[in-house]
Amino acid sequence: MKSKILTAFPQSVFQSTSAETIYVADFTERTNSARKVEIHTTEPCLPDSGESMDCLKVNNRDKVELEFCLFDDHQFKDEEGKDISHCECCFFPTENASGLGFVEIKDCKSKNVATYKDKMKEQILSTVHLFRSSGIIDKQKVYGILSFPRKKKMLFNDFPDRDIYETTRWVKDYGIHLVAANEVNVTANDFITILKSRNFIITI
């Protein structure tokens, strides 16, 4: 999987880890774009304080070796050289990658969730299309993970994965399992289960 991505998109940056807990943090808004999305194996802190940063938390209890591929803002171009909209990153097992998780994070205030959620879905869809058209994705199960870390103490009732028709349509039309979550569990089996309003299991 990694070699296919590098062949199609050589600007891709990878970070591998088998840590039991992994944090995906978007520092873009907090640092005025000085820092972007980062992968941490210990809980990161806010840049201007010692408080914990709001993150997408990946629980990797089986300690599966995972590859995180971070996307640069300008690495995907159309035929005219214009930037193509895309998500933040994707991740998959280093060996026997039977599934991929595409991640889009918006570290914004809760009042702005409604403004961003449709754009987030478009960014996931665009990136998956790029991977499929480049021959990277074959029969792997694909997950689109939408995360609003600052919304961790609130319900996700207004999220697209609460609409059964919408999620079913995404699987049928795009082959993408769309889930809104701020915490995911990666295991070694081959199924996905919704646990709570903000937790689910990716089995890859």
Rg (CA), the chain: 16
Domain that holds residue 177: 2-203
Q: How far apart are alpha carbons 126 and 41 in whole angstroms? A: 28
Residues of the chain scoring pLDDT < 50: 153-155, 157-158, 160-161, 190-200, 202-204
What are the pLDDT digits (tens) for 45-73? 988 888 888 899 999 988 989 999 999 88
Q: What is the pLDDT of residue 176?
A: 94
Residues in the chain: 204
Task: Return the closest-CA partner of residue 87 out of 161, 155, 26, 18.
Answer: 26
Q: How far apart are alpha carbons 201 and 143 in whole angstroms? A: 11
- How many domains would you assign to the chain? 1
Q: How far apart are alpha carbons 127 and 123 in whole angstroms? A: 6
CA 202 to centroid of chain Cα atoms: 12
Q: How far apart are alpha carbons 61 and 161 in whole angstroms? A: 24
Bridge partners, residue 200, by sequence:
184, 194
Strands annotated E in the chain: 13-17, 21-26, 37-40, 56-59, 66-70, 89-93, 99-105, 141-147, 176-180, 183-187, 193-194, 199-203
Q: What is the pLDDT of residue 134?
A: 94
The one-character DSSP state at 120 is H
Cα dihedral across residues 133, 137, 138, 142: positive or negative: negative
The one-character DSSP state at 22 is E
Q: What is the pLDDT of residue 98?
A: 82
Task: Return the closest-CA partner of residue 53 out of 93, 90, 118, 107.
Answer: 107
Query: b/e string for 129-150 if b means 16 or more Cβ within 10 A?
Result: ebbeeeebbeebbbbbbbbbbb
Q: What is the pLDDT of residue 5?
A: 95
